[in-house]
Amino acid sequence: AQSVTQPDIHITVSEGASLELRCNYSYGATPYLFWYVQSPGQGLQLLLKYFSGDTLVQGIKGFEAEFKRSQSSFNLRKPSVHWSDAAEYFCAANMEYGNKLVFGAGTILRVKS
């Protein structure tokens, strides 16, 4: 079945440390891929997206993600985390003809000072 998996439910990093959030998808071709961020009590905001071409994509707030076809992954990274990055992060994919995104279950990021 087509699915998006975020293996980590919670991640805690120290402020200033690097961050990598994992995302894997299950699909026979290359989907369109997205990362969203949700701050507490807020809606979801698009961080970045991958459609084709360069496998390293840059997003807002200093985030980047790398698409690896061989691993069916689209991991989100940030070199130095700030306390304001504490939020829930969702990976999503468009994997079939039509117009619905499939979302992962989310990863909650905690930042410790």
Partner 1 sequence: NAGVTQTPKFQVLKTGQSMTLQCAQDMNHNSMYWYRQDPGMGLRLIYYSASEGTTDKGEVPNGYNVSRLNKREFSLRLESAAPSQTSVYFCASSVRTGDFNYGYTFGSGTRLTVV
Angle at 47 between CA 43 and CA 53, to 5 degrees: 145
- CA torsion through residues 39, 44, 46, 51, sign: positive
**Using rule CB under 8 A, residue 98 touches partner 1:** yes
Q: Which residue has the tokens 């992060």?
A: 89
Number of residues that bind partner 1 (CB under 8 A): 22
Of 10-18, 60-68, 79-87, 99-107, which segment contacts partner 1 by CB under 8 A? 99-107
Out of 3, 7, 14, 32, the residue judged to bind partner 1 by CB under 8 A = 32
Q: Taking contact as CB under 8 A, which single stretch among the options 15-23, 53-61, 64-72, 102-110 is the one that binds partner 1?
A: 102-110
Q: Look-up: residue for tokens 């990598």?
A: 20
Nearest to 22 by CA among 113, 112, 105: 105
Residues that bind partner 1 (CB under 8 A): 32, 34, 36, 42-46, 49, 51, 90, 92, 94, 97-101, 103-106
